[in-house]
Amino acid sequence: MAQLDFYTLLPTVVLMAWASGLLIADLFIPRDRKAWTAGLAALGLALALGLTLAQIGRTGTGFAGMVTLDPFAVLANSLLLVSGLLAVGLSFGYLRRRDIDRGEYYSLTLFSVAGMMLMTQAADLIVVFLALEMFSLPLYVLAAFARPQPDSEEAGLKYFLLGAFSAGFLIYGIALVYGATQTTALAGVVTAVATGTASLPLLAAGAGLILVGLGFKVAAVPFHMWTPDVYQGAPTSVTAFMAAGAKIAGFAALMRVFVQAFPVLGEKLTPILWTLAALTMFLGNLVAIAQSNIKRMLAYSSIAHAGYILMALTAYANPQMRQMAVSAALFYLLAYALTNFGAWGVVAALEKQNGGGLELNDYAGLGRKSPALAAAMTIFMLSFTGVPPTLGLIGKIYLFRVTVEAGFIGLAVIGVLTSLVSAYYYLRVVVVMYMREGEPEASMDGWHKAVIALSAALTVLLSLAPAALFSLVSGATLLF
C-alpha cells in the first residue's frame, strides 16, 4: 500500500526532492554560471514530466484516499510541468539582464509547480488547503524577487496579504463543510449527502466560502483586486508563470471539488457562478481598455479569461454536461497557457534593465525593427481575442458551445460581446507595433527566443487540427 501511495504522487515527490537538492547544489555553482542552475531546473521538470506521462492510463487513490490519480490529474500536471519549463526558458536571460539572477529563483519555481500538481490531485479539502499554501508561498517570494525595487516588494507584500486573507475564507469554508458532513474527504461529502446525514444549508455556506478562497487564486471578480498591482510589480518572468500556473491549479481544484463533492448544490450555486462569470468577463475587458501599461493591460485580460473559464464551470450543475464542461475548461486552459507565455515572453524581451519599456507606446515601430517578434505578438493578441487561425478561437468556441448546450444562452452572449470589446485593446497593440514610428530594443537569449517561437507556432498549428486536443481533453475524466 505504501508503494501505491508513493506511486500516486511520484512526479510531485521527485520534483520536490529535486528542488531541495537544487537549492543545495546552487550554493556550489559560481555566480557567473547560473545557467547551470536553470538547466538543472529544466532537467528536473522534464524528469517529472516523463514520470507523469508514464502514469497515463493508471487510476487509483493514495494516502487513505486523500490524493487521487486519474486522467484529469495526469493532463493537468502535464500542463503545469510544461508551464514550468516555459517559465524557466523565459527566466534566465531576463533575470540576468535585470541583475536579479539568483539561484533560489529556480528552486522556488519548482516548489511552486509541485504544490500546483498536488492541488490537482487533492481528494480531500485539507490537502487542497495544504497544496494551496505550498504553491502560494514560493510565489509570494518570487513576486518580490526584484528587490530592492519598490514595485516588486510592494507586489510581494500585496500578494501575501491578500493571499493570506483568501486562505482564511478557504479554511473557514472547509470547517463549515466538515461541520455539515463530519468529513473533509470529497468522497465522504458525497456519501454524507446521499445518506441524508449532511446539513445542506451549512454545506452550501461552506461551498460558497471555498469558492471565494479559490476565486482569489484564479482572479475572478470581485476577488481580483490584487492582480493588476502584483502582475505589474513582479518580475515579468514570474508574472508569466503566475498567470498560467495559478489559473491551471486554481481551476483544477475548483473543478475537482465542485464537480465531485458538490453536485447536489448545483442549482443553488449556478446563479452565483453565472454572476461571477459575467462580472469577471465584463469588468476585466472593460478596465483593460483604459490601461496604457502593457503589464496592467494583460493583468486585466487574465481576469477576463478567468471569466470565460468560469462559463464552463457554470454548466457543472447539469449531470449530462459535467464532463464536457471539464473538457472545455481544460482545453481553454491549455490554449491560454500557450498564448500567455508567448505574450509575456515578448513583454520580457522589450522590458529594459531599469524596468522601463512597458508602456504601449514603447512597442511603436516593432513591426519594422523586429518583424518576427511583432508577428509573434500579433498571433498572441489574435489568439487572446479569439480570431482565426489561432487556438484561442477554438477554445472559445468550445466554451460557448458548452454554455449554450447547458442552457445559459445569456451568459454565452455576454461572452461573445465581451470578446468583441477585448478586440479593441488587443488590436491596439498591433496597431502601435505596425503603424507608429519608434525604436524599440529587444533583448533575448536562445531559450527566450525558443519559448516565443514555440508558443507562436503551436498557437497556430494546433488550431488547424484541433481533433487530437479534443480527444485528449475529452479523455481527461475525473475519478469518482
pLDDT digits (tens, 9 = 90+) for 307-349: 999 998 888 877 788 888 899 999 999 999 999 999 999 999 9
H or E stretch including 69?
A: strand 67-69
CA 193, 199, 204, 207 dihedral sign is negative
Q: Cβ distance 435 to 383 under 8 Å?
A: no
Tell me, what's the pLDDT at 476? Answer: 84
Asked if residue 3 has pLDDT above 70, the reply is no
Site of grid cell 516523463: 50
The pLDDT tens digits for 14-67 are 999 999 999 999 888 887 787 899 999 999 999 999 999 999 988 888 888 899
Mean model confidence pLDDT for the chain: 91
Residue 479 counted as domain residue: no
Q: What percent of the chain has pLDDT over 70?
A: 99
Rounded Cα–Cα distance for residues 140 and 147 (Å) = 13
Domain span at residue 313 reads: 2-474
Tell me, what's the pLDDT at 76? Answer: 94
pTM, entire model: 0.94
- Residues 269, 272, 274: CA angle, nearest 5 degrees: 105
Q: How confident is the model at residue 4 (pLDDT cuts 50, 70, 90)?
A: low
Asked if residue 2 has pLDDT above 70, the reply is no
- The count of domains in the chain is 1
Q: How many CB atoms are located within 10 Å of the residue 298 CB?
A: 28
Rounded Cα–Cα distance for residues 375 and 121 (Å) = 38
Tell me, rounded to whole angstroms, the distance of Cα 390 from its chain centroid. Answer: 19
Task: Give the relative orientation of helices 10-25 and 104-120 as an angle to the nearest 10 degrees.
Answer: 170
Average of pLDDT values for 90-98?
89
Residue 56 counted as domain residue: yes
3 state DSSP class of 292:
coil
Tell me, what's the pLDDT at 480? Answer: 56
Residue 400 counted as domain residue: yes
Cis peptide before 222 (omega within 30 of 0): yes
Asked if residue 242 has pLDDT above 70, the reply is yes
Residue 380 counted as domain residue: yes
The pLDDT tens digits for 180-221 are 999 999 999 999 998 888 889 999 999 999 999 999 999 999
Least confident of 211-220, 326-335, 375-384, 432-441: 432-441
C-alpha grid cell for residue 220?
A: 475572478
Asked if residue 1 has pLDDT above 50, the reply is no
Residue 272 counted as domain residue: yes
